[in-house]
Amino acid sequence: MSVATKILSFAEVSDHNNSKDCWLVIGGKVFDVTRFLEEHPGGDDVLLSSTGKDATDDFEDVGHSADARALMQEFCIGDIDLSTLPSKPTYTPASQAKYDPDKTTEFVLKILQFLVPVAILCLAVAVRVFTKKSE
């Protein structure tokens, strides 16, 4: 297991974002996974999609085995300078749509499209029942 002593900036790491040169930031460490791209069980697209950002959450969400965690240590090339990492985007929930009185007519039309045929059917049944000759 190599000791990572080199400190790399996020800008430097994010330049390595293609299949010929792929670096990832996971848990504050920088990994050169270029030679592992073809061997990765999930395919190279999974690793390439995690470049240019802190891939810690992506890595942890998958639930890698202890063997995978041990294997990744051989790809470690240094530590990330945490002050250069971009801040995580904050989630802002969408605001609720305002009441639009123009949509009320759409609602009324939908109700009428259901009720008018039901009313016609009821009327037809009533006419049939009351006009039927007694036998």
Residue 99 one-letter amino acid: Y
96-123 b/e with 16+ CB inside 10 Å = b?
A: eeeeeeeeeeeeeeeeeeeeeeeeeeee
Residue 4, pLDDT > 50, answer: no
For residue 32, what pLDDT band results from cuts at 50, 70 and 90?
Answer: very high
- Percent helix, percent strand, percent coil in the chain, to nearest 5: 45, 15, 40
Q: Average pLDDT of the chain?
A: 84
What percent of the chain has a predicted confidence (pLDDT) above 70? 83
Eight-state DSSP code of residue 54:
B
Smallest CA-to-CA distance from 4 within 80, 79, 94 is with 79
CA angle in degrees (0–180, nearest 5) for 67-72-75: 150
Q: What is the pTM of this model?
A: 0.60
pLDDT at 42: 85
Residue 112, pLDDT > 60, answer: yes
Q: Which of 36-40, 61-65, 80-84, 115-119 has the highest mean pLDDT?
A: 115-119
For residue 84, what pLDDT band results from cuts at 50, 70 and 90?
Answer: confident
